[in-house]
Amino acid sequence: MFTVTCSRCKYVFYKGEKIPNLYKIYVRFGGRCPVCGREIGWVPQSIDVKAKR
């Protein structure tokens, strides 16, 4: 299970079995978090990707 969450408010952008496509996430949300307005950067540190089993 992969999750991509906002590093500020923990809003879950993506949750699923497949490796998240950060570009699609970026486009879907218009480049920023819908809750706190934080910009979704292309820098990996701003997006928390975790693999859980």
Minimum distance of Zn ion from residue 53's CB (angstroms): 26
Interface with Zn ion includes 9 (CB under 5 A)?
yes
Q: Which of 33, 34, 37 is nearest to 48 (CA)?
A: 33
Interface with Zn ion includes 32 (CB under 5 A)?
no
CA distance 44 to 53: 22
Q: Which of 16, 53, 1 is nearest to 24 (CA)?
A: 16
Interface with Zn ion includes 35 (CB under 5 A)?
yes
Query: Which listed range, 14-22, 23-31, 33-41, 43-51, lies at the site for Zn ion (CB under 5 A)?
Result: 33-41
Interface with Zn ion includes 11 (CB under 5 A)?
yes
